[in-house]
Structure 1
Amino acid sequence: MSTPVYIYPQPRRYAALNGSSAAAAYFQLRTGDEAAERMAKAAHANERLADLPRGESVSAPHLAAVSASIIVKKNLHPQGYELTWNEDGLQLAAATAQGLHYALLTASQIFAGMKGAAQWGHFTVEDEPQLPVRGVMLDIGRCKIPTLISLRTLIDHLSGLKFNHLQLYMEGFAFDYRKYAELFPDATPITAEEYRELDAYAASRFIDLVPNQNCLGHMGKWLSKPELRHLADHPDGWPLPLPEPLSIIAPPLTLNPADERSVSLARDLFEELLPNFSSPYANINLDEPFGLGTGESKERADEIGVGQLYLDYALKMIEIVREQGKSPLMWGDVLTHYPELADQLPSDLTVLHWNYEPDIPFEPVCQQLQKSGVSYYVCPGTSSWSSLSGRTANMLANIADAAINGNKYGAGGLIVCDWGDGGHWQVAAISYPAYAYAAGAAWQTDHNLKALEPLEYYVSRHMLRDRSGKAAALLLEMGRYHLLERSTAENMTYTNLLLTKGLMAKEQLDQTLAVTVQVQQQFGGSGTPMEHDYRFAELSNWLSQRREELNALQLESEDAVLLKDELANTLLFIEQGGGLHRYIHRQDLHNEAEEKAWLTKLHNDLEAALAEFQRLWLARNRSGGLEESITPFTKLLDQYKEQLA
């Protein structure tokens, strides 16, 4: 018998056994020795057994308890377990409390899947993860910082998917650094007390909450402050190396690694942040130091080389976090350009190899890292950022490639990244299918890469509590609207880009897109010319289908109304972007009266969608960053008003 659809991630081995037993009215915990009792207590087994789904056709008061035996098996994988239901009741075997935690999760899924049956068929499960570290990195450094309640909900979802690692990525003032709070009066950061509470909450669910703070590149919000601007490698801005006659100066983004005052700033940040975490790790990031070695640090770079300049600074950051009892994690994008530096990397460093587009394979760098003997994790993405509703095909291919090559070349883990580029417009649920797919791919790769039906079942029934079972399919389909664009846009959708750029004439838009491609090249883009063939009539039909599917969902969670509103408003913004394209290209607009009527509709729709966006944001997130996020929308509204005047 194949593994039932209601188990996710799909386990290493599931087998149906002969026979069945009456559905349990309730379970009674049994431990044979002190070791089993300690393990059961650490996994909160007694409380969780009481919450397991029960047979509906039996009445508990007049029935004997069904035995649930906890067994310690030291030969099992530290995160593995064995789970059996037979005539002797339920048996849960594990080597550790974490393994027992995963056994209880699977038991809950199986009994929920057999809900309503008078008899539960006997079965056995033997399971363990392929990748020991399975995590999510959520961007809270760009505009959107969730409330504490939202972060607890996220941890609950990740725990249910057997993740064991979480990072909240920070740039800007996402943590309440008391020494620098006066520089960010409008920020609403996470406090030290809140991080300590989250740390304990995550640990109780066997998730390692790893502190994260960028400290070289991505420091634009810090360097925008006059008090800190002198620490930039380019205090007056970074002139992008573009072909003439283009001339664009980016704001200061990267600290000067040759300036000891940069080290002092980083030390201030880490010394205040890291004590709030029990994790043995800290992510110092150090990715994308744009303009490195071409500004204030050029003299030093010319002397020792850009790669050595970078590594010397990285080693100082590593020593700072070591002083706080942490082992370092850092991105590998710079290191892969300087493979000769591998011999200087400390043995306690874990490199995070990121890549978010499937046409750039993970394999070459994974091979390189394994050959160099460097510990590393693979880091694909949710593909949700700069898209409004995700890019489903890109997400599936990217995560699959990461898992396959991570396993093949000895990666120690997989962390799926959920970024907030461009204002962090996507709502939380858009990333749920990506979280689930990454969880399955990292747990048992071969058993889960094509297991989309179990994935949809889990996301719909467990994450979104949709009785219709169709919610996940809707989310995946919402991530396919960009296929109608027939666009070559990279790392985003054309619709999202259009909403960012605003209203302009077609000729100006063509020029803007061409410049965008050239600018993106300086940040890792391929330079492929921007093309599109977007037809609003097709999008309109697609939107009608999605709205019908949304209305048909039977959500039963406490936030059911909020969730439906979020997805409905997401569709409104997709429609706004498509409608803006229609206006710019005058698709099926035959005269000035029709053009004005359409522009009026765009204005009114955006005004309503923007008000709703603000309401929905504040329902799950802090207020800081909201104004920055909606700036392109308010700009577009002003453009509409000016055009209509």
Structure 2
Amino acid sequence: MYKLYPSVRTIVYTKEHFITKDKYFVSFDKFLENVFNKLNTFLSANKKKEAGDINFIYDSSLKEEEYQLNIDSNKIHISYKSEAGAFFAVTTLKQIFRQSGEKLQTVEINDYPDLSIRGLLLDISRNKVPKLETVYKVVDLMSDLKMNHLELYVEGFSFEYKSFSKYLVEDGYFTLEEYKELEEYCNQRSIDLVPNQNGFGHMADWLAKEEFNDLAECPDGAYIWGRNRPAATLDPGDPRSLKLISKMYADMLPHSNSKYFNMNFDEPMELGKGKSKEICEEKGIANVYIDYTLKAYDEIKKYNKTPLIWGDVLIHHPESLKRLPKDMLFVDWGYDSVYPYSKNLKKLSDLNIKFLAAPATTSWCSFTGRSNEYIESINNACIYTKKYGGFGVILTDWGDFGHFQFLPISYAPIAYLAMMSWTTEEGTITKLPDYMNKYVFKDKENLLFQTMFDLGSYNRYENSYTTNATYTFYGFLWGYYASKAEDPIEYYKNKTKGSILSVNKFNLLHQFLNNKVEEIQITDLHCDDGDLIKKELYQSIYLIKNIQKVMMAFNEDLSIKERISYLEEVMNSKNRIIDRQKKLWLSRNKSGGLEDSIALIEGFLKFAEYTLSEYKRGEDSGE
């Protein structure tokens, strides 16, 4: 019995055997170069005009990505409608070959995906810009599991905008040449590289430049989500806003061969709070939002692209959705188990809106991910997208607040999304450990996936549930902001109130993390980046431990000496934390943006050092 990933639609074993060969003659009714090259990654293939050992047969009656793979005692026959279908058939055949020896068990397989778009969005704009070879590795993982859509999220200057080259930071952006090379690499693997850039909200890097600041809805920023934030939203009523994004489009879209473009337009936080306040009160925020969207849409259509747009604004204004162009794809995003995909996607279906869902790897703002949340997020997105007739799903992998998670934290969520979006069925989670340990980590101990899944559940020891992050990460983030506050200690106390662990829970958490370190040491990884993965996990655990030590310095059940002891341990680890973070970062990513990310760690440690000095001063004075 073969273990195939993702699960195939139907498989019938025919109780014979196909004897493997040193060389195979392959016939195509129409030559498919990428498919032929894929074959040659696991067997020696030679083209042949007449019938060969492996025969590709075009069949117009099949679905777009459907294939039929029949292995009999003498031949292998693959029927397909599209090149993608043929490629996916070979992907399945590769799994069969690597699970077999000199004989293949004969089978008849019919297979096609439940969802048409099975995608991934990688954030390359929150400090961390990956090296090209890093993205290649992600593409290989996607390809092996039949994903077909990749986006590199761009806000700010992480793409080589030729018209704005003076703002590019050395080694801090994806070059146009790299983008074209990546596109070719993706297309060879039946993956569509879809251009992506923001042009409404999330424009902080642009609006921080003097040249563009007066295009902001609120040039001086606004108080949002508990703190003052810099200007991040364009003024939709200023014609120069459209002129700016049109120029950005002109620098990116002509270089893409995808038919899609993700225009984003999510989280225009200041909309209606500044220059557009009066018009928003008159026409309504949704109509002002759509007016600007339609202008951008007209610019995008000049490049023959179909836009995707995030749904966080208009999902709350369903009466306005009828104004959207009929070809636009509405992307409903939700990153936690509590997100109401069942409600939202039904609403979109009832309104005849073309939609996708966007669940999450949950890797960001956590260091090691949030395992239960990515399972629920992906399950709900796939199940209800299929139920209500959506186009597909795009798994998001963001990098908020310094992009501190290391890439391998996202490997399992990517694989799980791939499996669920191809075959949306119960029990898929039971297939994930085997696939990750055998084919991704190549762990002879068959352990690392389970260890990493556990690490993504360290928040079980936190005092309560929170969305989109862990309280440990918030403990880190509030420490950074406290370092800038007028009264750092009082600020931190207020922000972390309710999230400081008891002594018993703190000890349990540290025991848990130490056990995970022991498990990582036991693993026997044979993947190319095995040693690096281990180091990245050790560093992630080390960060969590030290953050929790700082938080324990605010546990009032401890004596001042005990609190000082925790802070001294952290300060003794200062150089190790920073030096290792830099070294590991540069193993997979470009250097641009690194110092901005490290600044958050330095700010957190500065706050810890300040707290330590204040505690010691109080101890010396007898306070």
Measure how far apart 1:583 and its partner are.
Answer: 2.6
Instruction: Confirm or deny that 1:328 pairs with 2:311.
Output: no
Aligned equivalents of 2:282, 2:38: Cα separation in 1: 61
One-letter identity of the residue aligned with 1:453: T
Instruction: Confirm or deny that 1:165 pairs with 2:149.
Output: yes
CA contact (8 A) 2:29 2:58 kept: no
Aligned equivalents of 1:357, 1:337: Cα separation in 2: 18
CA contact (8 A) 1:218 1:289 kept: yes
Instruction: Confirm or deny that 1:365 pairs with 2:344.
Output: yes
Distance change >3 Å, CA 137–CA 185, structure 1 → 2: closer
- Aligned pair partner of 1:16 in 13, 16, 20: 13
Aligned equivalents of 2:11, 2:550: Cα separation in 1: 51
Instruction: Confirm or deny that 1:418 pairs with 2:404.
Output: no
One-letter identity of the residue aligned with 2:178: E
- Aligned pair partner of 1:134 in 114, 118, 142: 118
1:108-507 equivalences under 5 Å are 108-114=94-100, 117-185=101-169, 188-240=172-224, 248-446=227-425, 449-502=426-479
Residue deviations 1:587-617, cap 9 Å, x none?
7x5562x444332221223421221111011
Q: Percent identity?
A: 32
SS in 2 for 1:159: helix
Instruction: Confirm or deny that 1:550 pairs with 2:494.
Output: no
Aligned equivalents of 2:6, 2:538: Cα separation in 1: 29
Q: Indicate the residue corresponding to 1:563 in structure 2.
A: 533
- Aligned pair partner of 2:495 in 507, 512, 515: 512
Measure how far apart 1:331 and its partner are.
Answer: 0.7
One-letter identity of the residue aligned with 1:565: K
CA contact (8 A) 1:287 1:331 kept: yes
Residue deviations 1:316-352, cap 9 Å, x none?
1111111112111111111112222222211110111
Structure 2 residue ranges without an equivalent (≥5): 45-50, 483-487, 614-623
Segment drifting more, 255-264 vs 481-490:
481-490
CA contact (8 A) 2:368 2:540 kept: yes
CA contact (8 A) 2:26 2:52 kept: no
Measure how far apart 1:232 and its partner are.
Answer: 0.4
SS in 2 for 1:310: helix
CA contact (8 A) 1:171 1:214 kept: yes
One-letter identity of the residue aligned with 2:438: R
Residue deviations 1:465-485, cap 9 Å, x none?
323332222221111111111
Aligned equivalents of 2:499, 2:348: Cα separation in 1: 33
Aligned equivalents of 1:390, 1:211: Cα separation in 2: 26
Measure how far apart 1:67 and its partner are.
Answer: 2.0
Instruction: Confirm or deny that 1:610 pairs with 2:594.
Output: no
CA contact (8 A) 1:487 1:532 kept: no
Distance change >3 Å, CA 318–CA 531, structure 1 → 2: farther
SS in 1 for 2:411: helix
1:4-153 equivalences under 5 Å are 4=2, 6-22=3-19, 24-31=20-27, 36-39=28-31, 41-45=32-36, 47-52=37-42, 67-114=53-100, 117-153=101-137
One-letter identity of the residue aligned with 1:547: V
One-letter identity of the residue aligned with 1:479: G
TM-score when normalising by structure 1: 0.88
SS in 2 for 1:502: helix
Residue deviations 1:74-122, cap 9 Å, x none?
22222111223231232222222211111111111122123xx454322
Structure 1 residue ranges without an equivalent (≥5): 55-64, 243-247, 515-528
Aligned equivalents of 1:195, 1:66: Cα separation in 2: 38
Distance change >3 Å, CA 342–CA 566, structure 1 → 2: same
Segment drifting more, 386-395 vs 76-85:
76-85
Aligned equivalents of 2:438, 2:178: Cα separation in 1: 30
Aligned equivalents of 2:67, 2:526: Cα separation in 1: 31
Distance change >3 Å, CA 341–CA 204, structure 1 → 2: same
One-letter identity of the residue aligned with 1:30: V
One-letter identity of the residue aligned with 2:163: K
Measure how far apart 1:133 and its partner are.
Answer: 0.7
One-letter identity of the residue aligned with 1:353: D
Instruction: Confirm or deny that 1:601 pairs with 2:592.
Output: no
Measure how far apart 1:551 and its partner are.
Answer: 1.2
Residue deviations 1:412-453, cap 9 Å, x none?
01111111111111011101111111111110101xx42223
Aligned equivalents of 1:119, 1:203: Cα separation in 2: 32
Q: Indicate the residue corresponding to 1:573 in structure 2.
A: 543
- Aligned pair partner of 1:636 in 604, 611, 615: 604
Distance change >3 Å, CA 531–CA 358, structure 1 → 2: farther
One-letter identity of the residue aligned with 2:337: P
SS in 2 for 1:585: coil
Aligned equivalents of 1:48, 1:584: Cα separation in 2: 57
Measure how far apart 1:224 and its partner are.
Answer: 1.2
Measure how far apart 1:532 and its partner are.
Answer: 6.1
Segment drifting more, 271-280 vs 332-341:
332-341
Aligned equivalents of 2:216, 2:254: Cα separation in 1: 27
How many residues are treated as equivalent by the alignment? Answer: 600
CA contact (8 A) 2:215 2:234 kept: yes
CA contact (8 A) 2:463 2:499 kept: no
Aligned equivalents of 1:16, 1:131: Cα separation in 2: 26
CA contact (8 A) 2:65 2:84 kept: yes
1:575-590 equivalences under 5 Å are 575-585=545-555, 590=559
TM-score when normalising by structure 2: 0.91
Measure how far apart 1:586 and its partner are.
Answer: 6.0
CA contact (8 A) 1:20 1:122 kept: yes
Measure how far apart 1:380 and its partner are.
Answer: 0.7
Measure how far apart 1:575 and its partner are.
Answer: 1.4
Segment drifting more, 386-395 vs 334-343:
334-343
Residue deviations 1:295-324, cap 9 Å, x none?
111232233221111101000111111111
Aligned equivalents of 2:612, 2:489: Cα separation in 1: 18
Aligned equivalents of 2:176, 2:6: Cα separation in 1: 34
Distance change >3 Å, CA 597–CA 294, structure 1 → 2: closer
Distance change >3 Å, CA 17–CA 579, structure 1 → 2: farther
Measure how far apart 1:27 and its partner are.
Answer: 4.5
Aligned equivalents of 1:26, 1:126: Cα separation in 2: 27
Aligned equivalents of 2:489, 2:222: Cα separation in 1: 30
One-letter identity of the residue aligned with 1:91: H
Distance change >3 Å, CA 174–CA 122, structure 1 → 2: same
Aligned equivalents of 2:203, 2:496: Cα separation in 1: 26
